[in-house]
């Protein structure tokens, strides 16, 4: 009997990495009924039938589950944002943090291409995120700045890279361990369209232990499905004020005596973070409104 992590899945066969090596496995009959029962990232137990060949008997409960790419038990997203080229898109970054938080996945921020800007600039952009409680690294895949720290955060975990194209996700993966290359969105899309092959994500084993998902995640950035009452919980810097506002369940919008807005005034909460929160809140409310009234009148602000 062995226990390990599924690192690859191809047409009914699963490669399992265990402490005693790799096994190419098929599934025990009762697991075969549903092809979502076993996916890359699952912790499984199996029986060895021949050297290096086994049968998966049991799938252990999942901690998290991403849909695109389909990977179970991802511990954290490494969200990469370039400090320049392309210019940082903090709205997109905050949106990613919400989507990642909603999936129950941790986040590490990498402000990359530090070699192209001043040290002051890197610190300034990272500061609100550090204050909010995130691990925010200033990195350069080019010079290696911050790469050692990033590597230490990946140890023993399943991590997925996220962020727009061109920010340096592949370059960082390669700086972490030469030879680690990420599949880019463009390539898998082309394959999918041309040859009707669905490329499954794989886990790349890291030398220090832990795995990287070989495809960037969180390409879908819709806030659909997030309730306006829960959005504030994905802004960790708001949490310490929870319960201090006049109204129970305060959305920190325009309610009187709001502790979060007071913290904004005193500079404890960053303006850009709060502004994005309000923007997402209004967006969510508009989505909710459209659904409820079948896109009837639209545009009305249901928060008021
Ligand atoms: P991805 O689309 O996020 O995977 O981005 P890539 O890793 O392909 O990087 C996009 C471009 O930025 C490439 O030309 C890289 O050489 C460059 N690049 C990546 N990281 C850095 C960095 O830290 N500093 C500088 N100067 N260029 C970088
Ligand atoms: Zn409030």
pLDDT tens by residue, 7-18:
999 888 999 999
Average pLDDT on 31-46 reads 88
Among 141, 187, 214, say which to mutate for ligand 1: greatest number of ligand atoms within 8 Å of CB. Answer: 141
| 116 Cα nearest atom in ligand 1 | 26
User: Ligand 2 center to residue 164 CA distance, Å?
Assistant: 32
Which atom of ligand 1 approaches the CA of 143 most closely? 23
- For residue 258, the model assigns a pLDDT of 98
> Which ligand has the nearest atom to the CA of 111?
1
| 39-53 mean pLDDT | 96
> Does 301 have pLDDT greater than 60?
no
The mean pLDDT value of the chain amounts to: 90
For the chain, give the percent of residues with pLDDT over 90. Answer: 78
Ligand 1 atom closest to 112 (CA): 23
Q: Measure 292 CA to ligand 2 centroid, in angstroms.
A: 26
191: pLDDT strictly greater than 70: no
Residues framing ligand 1 (Cβ under 6 A): 112-113, 115-116, 140-142, 165-171, 182
Q: What is the mean pLDDT of residues 172-200?
A: 68
Residue 203 has pLDDT above 70, yes or no: yes
Instruction: Using the predicted structure, report yes or no on whether residue 280 has a pLDDT greater than 90.
Output: yes
| pLDDT the model gives residue 292 | 67
pLDDT of 185 reads 52
User: What confidence score (pLDDT) does residue 31 get?
Assistant: 81
> Which ligand number lies closest to the CA of residue 254?
2
DSSP notation for the chain: -EEEEEEEEETTEEEEEETTEEEEEEE-GGGTT-TTSS-TT-EEEEEEEETTEEEEEEEPPPS-EETTTTEE---EEEEEEESSSSPP-HHHHHHHHHHHHHTT-EEEEEEE-GGGS-HHHHHHHHHHHHHHT-EEEE--TTT-TTHHHHHHHHTTSEEEEES-TTSSHHHHHHHHSTT--PPPHHHHHHHHHHH--PPPP-EEEPTTS-EEESS-B------TT--TTTGGGG-GGGGGGTT-SSSTT--SSS-SS-HHHHHHHTTSS-HHHHHHHHHHHHHHHHHHHHHHTTTSS----TT-
Measured in Å, residue 165 CA sits from the centre of ligand 1 at 9
Among 10-19, 25-34, 163-172, 208-217, the least confident range: 25-34
At 50, the pLDDT band (50, 70, 90 cuts) reads: very high
pTM: 0.89
57, exposed or middle or buried, with CB in 10 Å at 0-12, 13-18, 19+?
Answer: middle
- Find the ligand nearest to 81 CA: 1
- Among the atoms of ligand 1, which is closest to the Cα of residue 173? 7
Q: Measured in angstroms, how far is the CA atom of residue 98 from the centroid of ligand 1?
A: 25
User: What pLDDT, on the 0 to 100 scale, is given for residue 294?
Assistant: 56
Q: What is the predicted pLDDT for the residue at 293?
A: 65
Q: Is pLDDT of 298 > 50?
A: no
Cα of 90 vs centre of ligand 2, distance in Å, is 23
* Percent of the chain with pLDDT strictly greater than 70: 89
CA of 131 to the centre of ligand 2 (A): 19
Summarize pLDDT for 110-146 with one digit per residue, the tens.
999 999 999 999 999 999 999 999 999 999 999 999 9
Q: 56-106 pLDDT, tens per residue?
A: 999 999 999 998 889 999 999 999 999 999 999 999 999 999 999 999 999
Lowest mean pLDDT: which of 76-85, 131-140, 217-226, 294-303?
294-303
Mutate to test the pocket of ligand 1, among 140, 145, 164, 166 (most ligand atoms within 8 A of CB): 166
Pairing type for strands 76-82 and 106-112 reads: parallel
Of 274, 254, 276, which is closest to residue 263 (Cα–Cα)?
A: 274
């Amino acid at each position: 009997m062995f226990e390990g992590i599924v690192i690859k899945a191809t047409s009914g066969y699963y490669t399992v990495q265990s402490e005693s090596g790799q096994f190419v496995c098929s599934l025990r009959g009762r697991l075969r009924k549903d092809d979502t029962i076993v996916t890359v990232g699952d912790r499984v137990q199996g029986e060895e039938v021949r050297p290096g060949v086994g049968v998966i008997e049991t799938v252990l409960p999942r901690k998290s589950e991403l849909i695109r790419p389909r990977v179970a038990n991802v511990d954290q997203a490494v969200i990469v944002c370039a400090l320049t080229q392309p210019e940082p898109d903090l709205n997109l970054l905050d949106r990613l943090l919400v989507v990642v938080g909603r999936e129950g996945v941790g986040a590490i921020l990498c402000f990359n291409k530090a070699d192209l800007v001043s040290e002051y600039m890197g610190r300034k952009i990272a500061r609100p995120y550090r204050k909010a409680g995130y691990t925010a690294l200033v990195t350069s895949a080019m010079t290696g700045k911050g790469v050692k720290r990033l590597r230490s955060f990946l140890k023993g975990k399943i991590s997925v890279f996220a962020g727009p194209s061109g920010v340096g996700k592949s370059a960082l993966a390669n700086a972490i361990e030469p030879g680690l290359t990420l599949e880019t969105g463009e390539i898998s899309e082309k394959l999918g369209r041309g040859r009707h092959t669905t490329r499954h994500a794989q886990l790349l084993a890291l030398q220090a232990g832990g795995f990287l998902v070989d495809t960037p995640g969180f390409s879908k950035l819709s806030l659909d499905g997030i309730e306006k009452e829960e959005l504030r919980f994905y802004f960790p810097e708001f949490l310490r004020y929870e319960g201090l506002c006049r109204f129970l369940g305060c959305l920190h919008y325009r309610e009187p005596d709001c502790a979060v807005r007071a913290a904004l005034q005193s500079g404890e909460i960053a303006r850009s973070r709060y502004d994005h929160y309000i923007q997402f809140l209004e967006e969510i409310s508009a989505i909710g409104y459209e659904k409820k009234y079948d896109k009837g009148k639209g545009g009305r602000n249901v928060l008021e």
